Structures are given as C-alpha cells and as structure tokens.
Amino acid sequence: MTYIVSLMILVPLIGAVLTLLTQTKEQARSIALVSSLAPLVGALYMMMQFNSLTPAMQFVESFDWIPSLGVKYMVGVDGIAMPLVLLAAIVVPATIIYSWGESKDANQFFALILALQAGVMGVFTSLDFFLFYIFWELTLIPMYFLISIWGGPKKEYAAIKFFIYTHVASLVMLLGIFAIYFAVWAQTGIPSFEIPYLLEQFQFLESSMLRDSIFLAMLFGFIVKMPAVPFHTWLPDAHVEAPTAGSVLLAAVLLKMGGYGLFRVMLPMLPFTGSPDLMISILAFIGVLSILYGAMLALAQTDLKKMVAYSSISHMGYVTLGAAALVPLSVSGAMFQQFSHGLITCLLFMSCGAIQHIAGTRVIAELGGLGQKMPKLTVLMLFGFMASLGLPGLSGFIAEFMILTFAYITLPGYVLLALLGIVVTAGYHLWAIQRSMFGVLNDKLGHLHDITNYETLSMGILALLVLYFGLNPSPVLDMMTTNAEQIVSLMALAGV
Amino acid sequence: MAIDSLAFLIPLLPALAFVITFFFGKKMYSGGALIPIGAIAISCIISILITINLLQNPEVVVHQSYPWFAIFNLGILIDPLAGVMLCMVTFVSLLIHIYAVGYMSHDPAKPRYFAETALFTAAMLGVVLSDNILQLFICWELVGLCSYLLIGFWYQKPSAAAAAKKAFLTTRVGDVMFLTGIIILFSSIFTIYNGNLPEGIYVLQFNEMFKLIPELSAMHTTILGSEVSMLTIITLLFFGGAVGKSGQFPLHVWLPDAMEGPTTVSALIHAATMVTAGVYLVARTFPMFMGAPDALIVVAYVGGFTALFASTMGIVMNDIKRVLAFSTISQLGYMMLGLGMGAVVGMEAVGVSMFHLINHAFFKALLFLCAGSVIHSVGTQDMRQMGGVGKVMPITFITMLVASLALAGFGIPGTQIGTSGFFSKDAIIETTYLFGEHTGNYIPYIFGIVAALLTSIYIFRLLFMTFTGKARTDYGGHESPSSMTVPLSILAVLALIFGALTQTKFYRFLDETFINNFVHVNIGDLAELGNYHLVHGHHGEPLLILWMPIIVGVAGLLISFLIYYLKVVDMSKIVSRNNFVFKLLYNRYYQHHIFIEVISLQLTYGLSLVGEFIDRKIIDGIIDGISDGTIAIGEIIRKIQTGVVQSYATAVIAGVGLLIILLKLIVEVQ
C-alpha cells in the first residue's frame, strides 16, 4: 500500500467519471457510495498505521513533475492532515447516503460530490504548492455547479458570489505562493514548490516587508475560505441557495481547507514575519470578532439554514483564536475544532435540509411544533444543536474547552471576550429549536412525515461519531498535539 | 473493599438505563419504568454500602482515576461529603421514580420521561463523585441538559418550551462564570508551575487544586483599581456557577417557571438532582473558599438575601407549585448562608449546610410529591380553586403537614425532639448568630430570622388554603394510588425523624471530608491564610436565641391561621385594591420583565439586528459595490474600444507625446 494517499485522491476521481457515465439514479448512487467508501477504508487503514508520536510526514510519495520549475507531485500526511482526510472520508459517504433519494440528474450530482472529494483529499495531502493550488481551485468547480444547478431561487447570484469571492482570495494567495517561490529561488538558486522546503526557507528571506507581504497575502486566501469576519458574506448566501449536500460539504470540508492552511502554512511562517506580535493580534482579533459577530448574526436570522451558516462562522472563529494563541494544546484544540465542527455541522445542515424538504420552508416563523410529527428528526436535530452549542460529552466541547483554556494563557483578554459568546450561542440554538420544533403545530404546513431511513442512518452515524469523539478524543487529538507542539517550538526557535 | 470497585456503576447504571429505556421502553411495562428503578435501586445500595464503610473508616476514601484526553483525567472520589450526597440522590430519586409510575401512568410519552429522569439522575451522580473540577463541570452541564429536556417535557405547550429555554439559558450564564473560573484556575496553576506542568499528575484534581491554595491566594491581580487575590476571583466565579444552578439571586428566575414540567420532575429538580448541585459545588471546593474570606462573605450575603427575597414572593403566589418553587429558592439561600458562615465556624459550616441540604431534599421532595398528588386528584394547580382537600385525601394531608412542619423547622430546643428542618435550618440560624457575635455583623442573622418568619407564613398559608375549609370548586378528588402514597409516607417518616437521629453523627462525619488518604487540608491554616480566626466550641447562646426560630415559626403559623383559616382579614380585598407591594411581589419584582424584555430582547436581540444591518448593507454593500464598480468601469473602458483605427492611432501618438514630455521633465529635474 505504498500509494495509498494517491489512491485516496484517484479513487473518487475515477468514481466520479464512472458515476457520470451511469444511466439511472440507482446505478449512480450505488457507484458513488462504493467509490466514497473506498477512501474511508483507506483512511481507517492509515489511521491504524499512523504513528502519532512523530510530527514528520508519513505515507509520503514524491515524483518529479516539471523539474525545470521545481514542480513535484508530492503527497503525504501528518497529524494536521490525517484527521481532516478522515473527516472528508466520513462526510462524503454520509452525504451520499443522505442524498439517496436525489433524482434530478443524479449521475451528475453524485459525480460532482466525488470530484469534490478528490479535490479536498488533494488539498489536505499535497506537499507541493503547485499541486496544492491546483487541488485548491479544483474544489471550487464542483461546488459552483452544485449550487448553480441544484440550488434555490437565487442560485446564480450565490454561485457567482461564491466563485468570484473565493477565487479572488485564491489569486491573492497565489501571488503569495509565487512571491515565496521566486524569492527563495532568487536567494538559493534552486526552484522548488515543495511546501516544507519553502516554509523552512521563509525565515532566511532578507526583506521583512517581503516576508510580511507573503504572510498577509496567503493569510487572506485562507481566512476568506474559513471564512472570517469581515470576509464572510459569501458564505450565508452560498449556504442558503446550495442544495443540502452542497451545504454539508461546503461547511464540513471546504471551510476546513482555510483552517488547514492556517496550521500548514501560516503558523510555521508566523514566528519569522517582521512583527509576529502584530500578526498574532490580527489573528486573535479576527478570531474573537468572528466568534461574537457570527453568534450575534445567527441570533438575528429568520432562516434556519442561514442561522446555521452564521454559526459556522462563529465556530470557525474558535479555530483562528486557538491557532493564534500558539500554546500547543490550544493549537491542537483548534485543529480538533475543525474536525469536530466538520461532523457537527453536517447534522445541522442535514436537519435544515430535511425541514426544507418536508415542510417546504425553512423560515423559522413559519414552522412550529414539528416535533410532534417528526420525532426522529427532532431528536437528531436537538442532538446536533446541543453539540453545536458546546454541550460537554460531545466533541464540540472538547475543542472549545481546550481552545479557551489554553489560549487564556497567552491571550487572556481575547478569551474573556470570546466567553461572552457562549450564552448567545446557546441562545440562538435554543430559540430556533423552540420556535421550529416545539410549541403548537402550525396547521398551515400541511402533511408532514418523519425523515427517511437513509436520512436517519446518515445522521445517526454522524451523531454517534460526535458522541464518540466527545468521550474519547485521543485517537485524533494525540496526533494533532504532536504536530502542534512542533509548530509552537518554532516560536521558541525564532525567539519570540 | 470489594464494594469500592463497583463505585463506577453508581452513575453508569442509570446512564445505561437511559439508553435502554429510550430506545426500547415502548414495548415494556409502564414505558420501561422498571429499568431505571432497578438501576437506581442498585446504585442506591452500592452508595449506602460504600458510605457505611466510610462511616467506619472516614480517612480511607474511595478514589480511582484514569487518564482521559490531553492532560485531563476521569476519576471517582467518594469521601464523606460525596457519600451522603450519593445516598440522598439515589434514594430520593428512587422514590420519585416509583411515585412516577402512578403519576405518569396516563402519559403516552412515558419511555422518554423515564429515560430522561434516569439520565438526570446519572448526571447528578456524576457531579457528586467527580474527582476533578472538569469532570464535575461536564456532568454539571449534563444536569442542565436534562433539566432542559424535562422542563420542556410537554414540548407541545409553548409555555413549557419557553420555560425550558429560560432554565437552560439562565443557568448557562452561571455556567459560563464557572467555566471562566476553571480557565483562570488552570492558567494560574500553569503560572505557578512556570509553564512546566509536572508529569503524571492531573492539576484539576481536587487534591492538586487544594495543595496550591496558598500559592493561588498569594497571586494578585488588579481589578478596577483594587488588588484582588486570584483565589477570590476563582472562588467567586465558581460561586457564579452555583448561583445559576442553585437558583440564587439574581439568577433564580428560571426556577419558578421550571414547574412547567411534570410535578415529579419538579420534585427531582428541587430536591435531588439539580439545585443542590450548586451548594454541593461550594461545599466540594470549600477549602478554596476558606482561603478566600471575601468570597465567603459574598456567599453568605447572596444566600441570606436570597432566603429572604424569595420568601417574600412565596407569600403571594396562588399556584401551589410556584409557592414551593420560591420556598426552594429560599431554602437554598439558607444553605448558601450556612456555607458562608465558614468564615467563623470553619468546617462545621459544611456540616450544617449539607445537613440542611439532605433534610431539605426529603421534605421538599415530599412537599412536591404531595402537591403532585393533590394536582393529580383535583386537576388544578391554583390554590384558590382548592380548599378542603384534606377530607378526601387524608394521607396526602398528613404527609404534607409533616413536610410543612419540617420546612418551618418546628421542634423543642435543648431536646432531641423536632422535625428534621428544626435540626438543620435552626442550626444555620444559630451559626449566623455566632457570626454576629464574633464580627458584630448581625445582618446575616436578620436575613435568616426574618426569612424563617415568612417561610412559616407561606407554607401554612398553602396548607390552609389547600387542605382546610370548604371546597371552593367542584373538583371531586380522591386519594392517590399506593404507588404514590407509599413514597409519600416513607419521605414523611424521614422528614420527621432523620434530623433527630443523625445530627451529631452527621456533623462529625462531614468534619473529616478533607482529611483522608486523598486530600489533607487543615482548615485552620487556611483561615490564617485569609487572616481571620475560627471559633471553636460554642454552646453558650442565650436561651432566647435558641428559641427565636421557633418563636417566629409559631408566629408565622398563627398569622396564617388568622388570615387563611379564621379569615380575620379578607385578603382578597387587599389583593384587589391593586396594592403596590402586592403587585411588586406578585410580578416577582419585575425581574422577569427586566431579563426577558430588556436584556434578552431589546439589548441582545437589538444588537444582533444592528449586526444584521451591518452585514447586509455595509459589508455586502461594499462587496456588491466593488463588483458594480468593476462592471461600470468595464462599461466606460468598453467605450474607448471603438474599433476605429484612427482614434487608436490618435491615442498612440498622444501617449508617445506625453511620454516624451515626461522624460524631458525627469531629465531636467535631475
């Protein structure tokens, strides 16, 4: 199994092509499910073989691609990437099972999901900036089509906004990549896009203004993706118009690419920027702003799905805050938040999708009393909401507790502000569920039925995983901590 | 010591019962009620056996610890404090579960009910036997979750759904303070160890925390210009959590609404599984409070004020459960007041306060279950529609009378004759007197004694309005089935005799909570750390002081008797006159209005709408503006691209000319 990482990218890609060629929706979804389960098996195998004690890259594959420009095909995983590979491998089959009843152009629909998976797997495992950027942009295209074909009434606006917004951010990031590439080339005489090598050489770049520019350019690319306030407005629109499967993948894996960039690229560079303290303050400020602003905005929403979208912004703010604190366990807490939020947010978007599908509306004021007709959905949705508001025993709490506790050591003021968001977070979740699921049944909703067995199965599996990682986070947390320690040790190396 | 190894089953069995009943209860007898009953019964037996072992050998406590994630652990600690709590929680919860088989027999959602109460019990047991503050917090939050689910049990009712949310959010405010306390505690410990936490020990375990009390007390920070010890900040934040959970002022607002759930749930919340958690938290971390006298004084004042404040509202309520709810708040205030007296009496404060907690659990569970029995029979909660219930429900009446006497603390000082409330509540009032004697500050005593008078008034008002006189409506009641009356009778016996039987033993047992193989804390040293002195051996109170609680109790009984039995004064006239005091009390000091309308809706929600405006109009406005601008510029530039070669040529020549001029200028400048 030397090429396991490549297979993780290749199998969904081939699956996508095969799915596209199918004639009926039954064939399409079966082939899609099989092709998405293969990476899950692969990811589980990698988890078992993974050595959590070393921060080094594992399962590395490296081939020259365009030697004259220093472009390589190089993939591998470490404690930062492995959990996210696992996350993508879990979320995609769950989404496919959830969408089992999709009948509009099912072959294209499932093919796009698989193509997205291939792109995401590529982003999380690429060790070459050239390759990384290709995969990064590759994820945009399936999502664009998922929104613009299967989306809601304002799908064109949302799809274009999503595409252009994140594409502009990617271009700024690309400028950063080129800058570091040419600068290192000029300094050492060796062209290379290899990520670890470039990050290592970053500190030797003479001009501190150049270093800061590279840092900020790439940071912009990542925080737009996360997204962080104030570069977030593309997300609610995209979510509202996207089909459920699109929203799930967008929130659960695409946003995580932004957070991944923070850990993979930004934090190793940070100690060597011209003014690390300023950069830390910027990150911490953006993090806390996202937490509070996202939570407040979620409270104001009238559309259930838009509320969940803003809650994503709020929760991703914890990732930024935990990363900025640069304490090993706050950084690994932030990584765990990415993993945990990926699982939890699936439940939330799936619930919203089911309500939209069955009740015909997601406007909270038009719902009410759904619990009486949809007990299974209510239980799963309440579970998801409780996980999202940070109930202990579930994975979200572990992440948020670690971030808040350990970030307090270096960033006490910011953490105290972030703590204010906890009550608001509980507030918008409970208020929404009170008005939609509890109370008197709204007669205008017509005939209602509970969620299908496929929907129950996918949501049930995710709920169990949220519980499992809430009780036993160590399987993914330990490997994260190993890498977080290494990242933080760079700070000491830089004498910051 | 074999029984110790079964300690983990105490919370685990009810938790398993939750899973089984939730998924498979539908097909079982009475919605699977027997599963949680059996599980809690076994937990109760294990708890009692372990506590008996502890009684014989209090310095060898049960302690087990396992690594969890990162640098945290999961562990079990059963010392005297935890032991008595475990016995109380499992026992009272067991009786309430048995009672619920009858009480909930007509409800179609029984499996969900019994599953959730089992989880509620499991979570509370988890709070009690945690050996570290993080695990305690986790179970503490699960208690909050279960209360949310159970208060909102009849979720179809909008008022129940609203009450559930209110309970969760209000306690969440306290929980955030508690969490902040843990975070600050951890970072302080981190600082004490200079960032190198020792391997192999878990710093959030209680013994490790207590070891560092002197260091924590020596750390200072400046808040608003005054220097405060870290220990004071941490303990006050912990107390903030307790204020939320134990319904202390100003976060008590959720508790009176919490009666939207089934009455059995109210009994669980008020007696066994929820509100006592806050008192327990303060008792559990008592050594830290001992090192921070300022925090202890705050505990005393908040507790004393709550005791008085809540009892004033108890007097005017007409809903039988609401009266009891205010009574709970008030009695919890007494427990906090008792703990706050640690500044003078040291560990005895924990004994006195916990003793009241246990006794209160018995008689308050009894009061609620009696109220439930009445409601079950007459079909209303409004006391104005009752009257004369005692004739049709003799067992309920007698047990309720016992519970009321216990709540009012009737007994004869200087003897071993008295209800359980007499031995615990009056003991708290005595310690407040002692506090006054030593510090010259009699305010806590005044809080205690006035609240005792009001307590007696409202509880006998309830008794007279409900059980005596003529039936005011045609409710046609009957005595409840034996599955309900048997638990009532058992609790009544305990409310009557538990105090007399166990008082001295109980104090002595709890005195040794913090001296054993797990932790060794010298309370006297901690008092010195806080620069104050404890009083030992105090049995010289004047006779009047000993009799004072009884005098006010009887006075309260008489007042209620005159007004509500003999009807010397017509209360309805005072009420109908729109009396200001009455309105203030009946509307609960408008605090609900302030919290819901002003803070939640106008302030928080208003702010979020402002955010929404910023997002839509400003941020999106800029984004759309940029895109519109790009398009507009494109439109303008498009016009230049006329396709006419002559105009291009003109532009080229003009450009070249401009360049030449520019170059010339540059050369001249140089």
Segment B395-417 shows an average pLDDT of: 84
> Do both B492 and B619 map to the same domain?
no
Chain B positions touching A419 (Cβ under 8 A) are 176, 179-180, 183
Residue that is written with structure tokens 């559930």 in the block: B164
Q: Which chain B residue shows the shortest CA-CA distance from A412?
A: B184
| % helix, strand, coil for chain A, step of 5 | 80, 5, 20
Indicate if B427 and B397 belong to the same structural domain.
yes
CB atoms within 10 A of CB B11: 24
Res. B234: pLDDT tops 90: yes
Mean pLDDT, to the nearest integer, of B27-41?
Answer: 85
Which residues in chain A (154-173) have CB-CB distances under 8 A to chain B?
161, 164-165
**Looking at residues B644-664, what average pLDDT do you find?**
83
Confidence of residue B539 (pLDDT cuts 50, 70, 90): low
Q: Which residue has the tokens 């309308």?
A: B597
B323 within a domain of the structure (yes/no)? yes
Q: Are residues B440 and B357 in the same domain?
A: yes
Sort out which chain B residues have CB atoms less than 8 A from A392's CB and list them.
137-139, 141-142
Whether residues B439 and B557 share a domain: the answer is yes
Beta bridge partners of B64: B76
Half-sphere exposure of A467 (CA within 13 A, CB side): 8
Output the pLDDT for position B603: 78
Identify whether residues B430 and B360 lie together within a single domain: yes
Nearest of B170, B317, B321 to residue B246 by alpha carbon: B170
Residue of A nearest to B163 (CA): A434
Q: How high is the pLDDT of residue B537? A: 62
Is B439 contained in some domain? yes
Residue B287 confidence (pLDDT) above 80: yes
Cβ neighbours of B208 (radius 10 Å):
16
Tell me what pLDDT residue A496 has.
58
Question: Mutation test of the interface with chain B: which of A299, A331, A367, choosing the one with the most B Cβ atoms within 10 A?
Answer: A299
Residue B647 and residue B499 share a domain = no
Mark which residues 350-369 of A lie under 8 Å from B by CB: 369
B506 pLDDT higher than 90 = no
pLDDT given for residue A291 in this prediction? 93
Strands (E) across B548-640 are located at none
The DSSP output letter for B305 is H
Does pLDDT of A495 surpass 70? no
Question: Domain ends where: B560, B586, B612?
Answer: B586
Nearest to A426 among B156, B169, B608 (CB): B169
What would the mean pLDDT of A98-112 be, rounded to a whole number? 87
Q: B493: Cβ–Cβ under 8 A, 6 or more apart, which residues?
A: none
Residue of B26, B171, B608, B619 to mutate for A, most A C-beta atoms under 10 A: B608
Encoded tokens for B579 = 């009396």
Tell me the average pLDDT across B362-372: 87
Report the residue from B69, B156, B187 with minimal CB separation from A372. Answer: B156
Residue B260's CB is within 10 A of a number of other CB atoms, namely: 24
In Å, how far from its chain's centre is CA A248?
Answer: 10
Residue A342: pLDDT over 90: yes
Which stretch of DSSP H or E encloses residue B520? none
Are the Cβ atoms of A423 and B169 closer than 8 angstroms? yes
Q: Which residues of B touch A491 (CB under 8 A)?
A: none
> B351 and B339 in contact (C-beta within 8 Å)?
no
Instruction: Flag if B69 and A477 touch (Cβ within 8 Å).
Output: yes
DSSP, collapsed to helix, strand or coil, labels residue A132 as helix
Query: Is A347:A484 a contact under the CB 8 Å cutoff?
Result: no
The predicted-structure confidence for B326-350, as pLDDT tens digits, reads as follows 999 999 999 999 998 888 888 888 8
Q: Token digits for B422?
A: 């007499």
Q: Which of A419, A427, A474 sits opposite B69 (nearest CB)?
A: A474
Residue whose tokens read 């000091």: B589
In a domain, B444, yes or no: yes
Return the closest-CA partner of residue A238 out of A223, A250, A227. A250
Question: The tokens 């009778």 sit on which residue?
Answer: B489
Does B435 have pLDDT greater than 90? no
Of A230, A393, A409, the CB nearest to B187: A409
Chain A: give the shortest CA distance to residue B158, in Å: 4
Q: Please give the residue that has the higher pLDDT: either B203 or B670.
A: B203
**pLDDT at B475 exceeding the cut of 90:** no
- Judge if B649 and B557 occupy the same domain: no
Interface contact flag, A230 B190, Cβ < 8 Å: no
Token pair of A88 as six digits: 């993508």
Q: Do A422 and B176 touch (CB under 8 A)?
A: yes
Least confident of A20-29, B184-193, B525-534: B525-534
Which chain A residues contact residue B602 at CB under 8 A? Answer: none
Q: Do both B337 and B371 map to the same domain?
A: yes
pLDDT band at B540 (very low <50, low <70, confident <90, very high): low
Q: Do the chains contact at B182 and A405, CB–CB below 8 Å?
A: yes
Domain extent at residue B548: 293-513+542-586
pLDDT tens digit sequence for A353-404: 988 888 888 888 888 888 888 888 999 999 999 999 989 989 999 999 999 9
Section A131-142 average pLDDT: 91
Flag whether pLDDT at A319 surpasses 90: yes
Give how many domains chain B has, as a whole number.
2
Q: Given this model, what pLDDT does residue A41 score?
A: 93
Cα A288 to Cα B180: distance, rounded to the nearest angstrom: 16
Closest residue on chain B to A421 (Cα): B176
Could you tell me which of B392, B416, B652, B414 has the C-alpha nearest to residue B543? B414
In a domain, B218, yes or no: no
pLDDT in the model for residue B633: 83
- Reported as a single tens digit per residue, the pLDDT across A232-274 is 888 888 888 889 889 999 999 999 999 999 999 999 998 888 8
Contacts of A14 (CB under 8 A, 6+ apart): A35
Q: Which residue has the higher pLDDT, B412 or A296?
A: A296
Domain ranges of chain A: 275-496
Nearest-Å Rg of the Cα atoms of chain A is: 22
Nearest to B568 by CA among B458, B474, B464: B464
pLDDT value, residue B437:
82
Asked if B619 and A230 come within 8 Å (Cβ–Cβ), the reply is: yes
Å between B290 CA and nearest CA of chain A: 25
The pLDDT value given to residue B42: 92
CA-CA-CA-CA torsion sign (B15, B19, B25, B27): negative
Cβ(A173)–Cβ(A222) under 8 Å?
yes
B569 in a structural domain: yes
Q: Could you tell me which residues are beta bridge partners of residue B66?
A: B74
Q: Are residues B569 and B608 in the same domain?
A: no
CB contact under 8 A, B138 and A441: no
Query: CB atoms < 10 A from the CB of B222, how many?
Result: 8
For residue B246, tell me if it sits in a domain. no
A181-197 average pLDDT score:
89
Q: Do A434 and B162 make contact, defined as CB atoms within 8 angstroms? A: yes
Average pLDDT in chain B: 84
pLDDT in tens, A47-81: 999 998 988 899 989 898 888 888 999 999 999 99
Chain B residues lying within 8 Å of A300, measured CB to CB:
605, 608-609, 611-612
Q: Is A434 on the interface with B (CB under 8 A)?
A: yes
Chosen for mutation from B155, B204, B600 (greatest number of chain A CBs closer than 10 Å) is: B155
Average per-residue pLDDT in chain A?
A: 89
Under 8 Å CB pairs connecting chains A and B tally to 122
B157 is a domain residue: no
**For position A165, what pLDDT does the model report?**
84
Residue appearing with tokens 């105290």: A416
CB pair distance less than 8 Å for B605 and A441: no
User: Residue holding tokens 């095909």?
Assistant: A73
Q: What is the pTM of this model?
A: 0.90
Q: Which residue of B has its CA nearest to A480?
A: B70
Task: Say yes or no: B457 and B477 in one domain.
Answer: yes
> Do residues B302 and B397 both lie within one domain?
yes
Q: Does any domain span residue B110?
A: no
B110-136 pLDDT, tens digit per residue, is: 888 899 999 999 999 999 999 999 999
Tokens 């990617």 correspond to A170
Q: Are residues B502 and B626 in the same domain?
A: no
Name which residue leads in pLDDT, B283 or B613.
B283
